[in-house]
Structure 1
Amino acid sequence: MKTKQLLFAATFLLFAEMTGAQNYQVPVSEKDEKMMEGKFKPTWESLKNYKVPEWFRNAKFGIWAHWGPQCVEGSGDWMARSLYMEGSREYKYHLEHYGHPSEVGFKDIIPLFKAEKWNPDKLVALYKKIGAQYFFALGNHHDNMDLWDSKYQPWNSVNMGPKRDILAEWEKAARKYELPFGISFHADHAWIWYEPSQRYDRLGPKAGIPYDGTLTKADGKGKWWEGYDPQDLYAQNHPLSKGSWSDGMIHQQWGWENGACVPTQEYITNFYNRTLDAINRYNPDLIYFDVTVAPFYPVSDAGLKIAAHYYNHNMATNKGRLDAVMFGKILDSEQRKALVWDVERGAPDKIVDEPWQSCSCIGGWHYNTSIYERDGYKSAASVVKLLVDIVSKNGNLLLSVPLRSDGTFDEKEEAILNDFGDWMTVNKEGIIDTRPWKVFGEGPIAESTVPMNAQGFNEGTYNKATSKEIRFTQKDKNLYATVLAWPEEKQVIIKSLAKGNTLYPGKISKVELLGYGKVTFTRTNQGLIINMPDKQTNKIAPVFKIK
């Protein structure tokens, strides 16, 4: 009897998954935004029929404008959370320059986000010039402000701040320069991310006075924000998560486990509505979520319904062809059939069968003046190392270049972009439209284990690559070998192409150095020995085209 009951339970769970009948703790409401019906249903079984479009597989490199009101103070990423952490660097800066968070909170920073020098047309033109094959804009961050004329979030960039539809202007520029357009959504985690705004100082003259995170619409009478409800922004009318006063607890609760306060249906549905609103308005080619798996998964079906709607909507607007890409983090092998795997600031240490993406940044995710002052940006050479390594493993690199609050990048970032663009102009044929080879590379790093931490965070190892590291790609019967730093020696030895090596049993008739021309070589049992020209043709990395 017990065996039959277990068999029945297993059969029921399988049926529930296949039919979408799974019971979620907080099911989303479709009262205001109906999920588009079509080929895809909001189940893993259905979503696994997704195929990554060929254009994304070919693209290899995108640029991300990770830009919004958190850039105002120039104190870096997550400042809208950290300003409520007593004694933190961001708290001290905010206190000195803007006021105490019981009186002046993040809501009061939003009007200072003016974007007064922002020229999306000029920026996207530059991004394309330096080699970007797609472009991403920030739709909302954990600060919960929508950067478009949002139907479901009054705290948006048309009602306040720049009073411009930022997504609409980014999209117009991307379409003009024929770059696939992406939107990233991060606001699902505002629920726990803003919890420090419920705190108060424990020391000093304002000890015990609550911060502004629990203010309501009624508190705004006579204030600049009269008529707006701070809870639409902060979403803090709920109990704190377990251990919330421990600043690092949020990382353990990012997947809605380990004591995270479970969001209400109203909150989850609001995020769902906002996301569908943006999808329906701007028809993005890519959407990104800074989440474990999918938004609110597994406590709600919101993420899977967003995915199904997005794929069906994309097919409807593309005459039945699916060109959409949706990203998720920390995906298992089955989930990677339904979504494209995103790795943050890192890469796996092997070739991955399905296309994937690494998202990284030349500095902090939001503009950080201290990184500028200490020359803390990645160099163009470091960006190239990451790009080449990622592409050799069947991945794409999405690179964020932080913009200042006014919508411009600084002169140090400009120099990095120009140097990178110069390298790409000559060498992108070994990047764009390529595929992995039989092995991704050789060298001390390639031949070692480089584990990831959570969703990534191992790029520091790859940044240290020397001329001993070589990475491979292939296209049109040509093999490309990129040395990850310009060698000091007069010869490059590629062991994987040694005489008699089964990886490349055929003859090698010609070797070219991109940007230079034909170079001489010999093939021995030690490896393919390439003679370097006397003059260094670039400052970053040589790329050899091998026929």
Structure 2
Amino acid sequence: MAQTDSLRLPIAEGPFQPTLESRANYECPEWFRDAKFGIWSHWGPQAVPMNGDWYARGMYEPGNRHYAYHTNHYGHPSEFGYKNIIPLWKAEKWDPDRLMQLYKRAGAKYFVSMAVHHDNFFLWNTKLHRWNSVDMGPKRDVVGEWQKAARKYGLKFGVSEHLGASFTWFQSSHGADRTGPKAGVPYDGANSNYWDLYHYPAAPDDRGWYSKDPRWQQRWYDVISELVNTYHPDLLYTDGGVAFGQAHVVGLSMIAHFYNQDIARRAARSPLDSKGAELLLNGLPRSPGGPQVVYTCKQQSGGRWVQDIERGIQPVIDPHPWQTDTSIGDWYYNRNWQFRPVSWVIHMLVDNVSKNGNLLLNVVQRPDGSLDPEVEQMLEQLAEWNAIHEEAIFGSRPWLVYGESAMKVQGGAFKEDFQYSAREIRFTTKGGILYAIALGWPEDRKITIRSLAKPSGSDVNRIERVSLLGYDGRLDWEQTAEGLTVTLPEKKVSEFTAALKITGSALTNVPFTMPPVIVTPDARGRIQLSPDAAELAGNVRPERRGGQLSFGFWDNPQDSVSWTVRFPAAGRFRVRTACASVHGDIGFVVEFGRQTLSGVARRTQSWDNFAEVDLGVLVVREPGDVPVRVRPKDAGLWQAVNLRTITLIPE
């Protein structure tokens, strides 16, 4: 075992060392690139109050919603602390075998179990910590039982560790109320008898995500080593960047150990692996003996590990495999959250796969380990969709471009509330076949793929056959210099996508400019300027608030939204919308060509509460196409606003 000088950091013998340069020898295994979709159990004692994520910390923070809930339902945290929540977690309806069958049917190719969250409670049979799920709570080896079920049904198995941040994260348990009847009474975390759960007090200047304390860094390494050496997961997820810093020896040592122990274990099982491992040690890092495990964290890596993006996407194809981790609801069960619809899951999956990414989806469990009926229904819908579309997803690779999009997105963490439409097309490829997946079913049943145009005099994009996954009939299609236009059947194959299977030769992406959406009046003469039909400039994007679609994340005054409206005749229109703001009195302008209407977003207390805004009357003097743009009235006074569909009502 290799050893570092400053700390006790045993590393399995092998080619990887605790340096960034050594990580350059890593190549992501093909199983992960083929898998595309994983399901995550982000579950533990913090699910008990059914009040959402970060409960164990927030219950010690006056003013936090968790503190209010805790004091109202359990009592003051000086008397009833998180240690008292743990025994209430029984997991009495948890059936990992049944759930794994459901997850496999839904299309999951790998499964990730929570091993330890920031609450410092271990979900495995540990020898290092009394606060664990075998000795307390459900009295079961959660990690071990999940692993057994995953192996039984042929899924790769991973674990997530959130322990690195626990030391500073849990310091709130050492505090006390500053006001009120319990002012100055220490919370139970201040009791040294429980410091093995809540940690000893941190130094005053130790407040970052990762602690600077070498004692805690040593503890983290010992614990995660036990986890890896006991369960030998296929994937290890760290909640944060590389533990304690990208250049820190502790985090890099764990990655090296994780990679090396996998090489050694496979070498012991297989002569081929043994030869491969020897070649790797002799300087041929991309041999068959390379590690077949995945380490993933929230940090760009250049391929040294798999980058994870929490609740976000990539804007374009990443040359290195990556992963989104997200949830159908809150991270822990929250009675106040609505679950995501299956359409959102499917669109996120397709978008990620087109950009060389995977989707790791937290399927939120109740405290007892069961799933809500609507969650099970969503998984069954996903299974039905995968039964038709799996050939375009699993085992595929990105094409030359990820797709055709009218949306301008920057990508990054916590940017996932996009509303896709049939105009959005995503590409994947496998075995010489190109798949073009529209993220919706167009009302006119026509899909035009402009990338597959046939320029005059060109020998590229020789289309031979076009078919629709889930449909056995013949499709009508036409290829011109403007693109490949396909007419879909009258009966929808899916409510969520239309996946075309295209074969041909010399297929390439022909450059084009995405034409704007032309908004026209409905049967009543009304014109709806909706978020899902808008051209977006900046970080503003559609999100669902208060049960309806709106423009959200509009923090930057340089952002704007726009449409092109086709007026068939002159006329007058009353213009109305609705806004939500936690700030209030935020002015905005709607430009209709050279005409301008102004409105004010009043304070509504919540992003889910909207108030109607009457912008006045628009006079259209002649028919034609008119550009419409919404922007801040005064960039210097701008604060975030959510804006719903703008409606033009004929007078």
TM-score interval, smaller chain: 0.7 to 0.9
State which of 145, 159, 181 in structure 2 corresponds to 1:169. 145
Superimposed CA distance per residue, residues 205-235 of structure 1 (whole angstroms, 9 cap, x where no aligned partner): 1111111111122xxxxxxxxxxxx111111
SS at match of 2:167: helix
Equivalent residues in 2 for 1:122-141 (5 A)?
A: 122-141=98-117
- Contact between 2:168 and 2:202, CA under 8 Å: does it hold in 1? no
Letter in 1 for 2:197: L
Match of 2:475 in 1: 519
Which of 270, 273, 277 lines up with 2:226 in the alignment?
A: 277
Is 1:231 the counterpart of 2:200 in the alignment?
A: no
Distance 2:18 2:456 in 1: 48
Superposed displacement of residue 42, structure 1: 1.1
Would you say 1:366 and 2:345 are equivalent positions? no
**Equivalent residues of 1:28, 1:301 under 8 A apart:** no
Letter paired with 1:266: R
Q: What residue is the counterpart of 2:579 in the other structure?
A: none
Matches of 1:503 and 1:327 in 2, distance apart? 44
Residue 463 of structure 2 is aligned to residue 487 of structure 1: no
For the structure 1 residues 479 and 39, does the alpha-carbon distance in structure 2 shift closer, same or farther, using more than 3 Å as the test?
same
Q: Structure 1 vs Structure 2: percent identity of aligned residues?
A: 43
Post-superposition offset of 1:45: 1.1
AA matched with 1:531:
T
For 1:299-345, what per-residue CA distance to the aligned partner results, in whole angstroms no more than 9, with x for missing partners?
842111111111111111112432110012122xxx33321111111
| 1:459 maps onto 2:416 in alignment | yes
The answer as to whether partners of 2:175 and 2:190 remain within 8 angstroms in 1 is no
| Higher relative contact order (Cα pairs below 8 Å, separated by 6+ residues) | 1
Residue aligning to 2:564? none
2:189 to 187, 210, 213: 213
1:450 — aligned with what?
410
Q: Which residue of 1 aligns with 2:485?
A: 529
Q: Which amino acid aligns with 2:492?
A: Q
Aligned counterpart, 1:39: 15
Which structure 1 residue ranges, 4+ long, deviate > 4 Å from structure 2? 501-504
- Structure 2 residue 70 is the aligned partner of structure 1 residue 70: no
Are the aligned partners of 2:354 and 2:402 in contact in 1 as well (CA < 8 Å)?
Answer: yes
Q: Distance in 1 between matches of 2:427 and 2:122?
A: 41
Q: Call closer, same or farther: CA 1:451–1:133 in 2, change over 3 Å.
A: closer
SS in 2 for 1:307: helix
Q: 2:310 aligned with 1:337, yes or no?
A: no
Spell out, residue by residue over 1:211-269, the C-alpha distance to the aligned partner (whole angstroms, 9 max, x if none).
Answer: 1111122xxxxxxxxxxxx1111113223447x6xxxxxxxx33x4xxxx622x22211
Residue 8 (structure 2) pairs with residue 29 (structure 1): yes
**Cross-structure match for 1:120:** 96
How far is the alpha carbon of 1:451 from its aligned partner? Answer: 4.0
The total of aligned residue pairs comes to 480
Deviation at 1:502, TM superposition (A): 11
Question: Contact (CA 8 Å) 1:289, 1:327: kept in 2 or not?
Answer: yes
**Which runs of structure 2 are paired with 1:117-516 in the superposition (5 Å)?**
117-217=93-193, 230-241=194-205, 253-254=208-209, 256=210, 262-263=212-213, 265-292=214-241, 294-297=242-245, 300-319=248-267, 320=277, 321=289, 322-331=291-300, 335-371=301-337, 376-445=338-407, 448-452=408-412, 456-460=413-417, 463-500=418-455, 505-516=460-471
Q: Displacement of 1:498 after TM fit?
A: 1.3
Q: Structure 2: how far apart are the matches of 1:313 and 1:211?
A: 42
In structure 1, what residue type is equivalent to 2:126?
Answer: S
With over 3 angstroms needed to count, the CA separation of the structure-2 counterparts of 1:49 and 1:71, relative to structure 1, is same
Q: Is the 8 A contact 1:20 1:41 kept in 2?
A: no
1-side partners of 2:247 and 2:32: how far apart?
30
Structure with the largest fraction of strand: 2
Q: Is the 8 A contact 1:357 1:398 kept in 2?
A: yes
Q: Which amino acid aligns with 2:488?
A: M
Shift, 1:56, TM fit: 0.8
Superposed CA offset, 1:489-517 (max 9, x none): 22111111112299991321111111113
Deviation, 1:36, is 1.1
Larger radius of gyration: 2
- Please list the CA deviations of residues 269-301 of structure 1 after superposition, one character each: whole Å capped at 9, or x if unmatched: 121111111111111000000112x11125842
Aligned partner of 2:310: which letter? E
Conservation of the 8 A alpha-carbon contact between 1:435 and 1:474: yes
Measured against aligned partners, the alpha-carbon deviations of 1:71-123 in whole angstroms (never above 9, x if no partner) come to 01101010111111112211111111111111111111011111111111111
What one-letter code is carried by the residue in structure 1 that aligns with 2:97?
D
List runs of 5+ in structure 2 lacking aligned partners.
268-276, 278-288, 504-651
Query: Structure 1 residues 44 and 530, CA, compared in 2 at 3 Å: closer, same or farther?
Result: same
**Higher helix fraction (1 or 2):** 1
Alignment of 1:90-101 (within 5 A): 90-101=66-77
Shift in CA distance, 95/396, structure 1 to aligned 2, threshold 3 Å: same
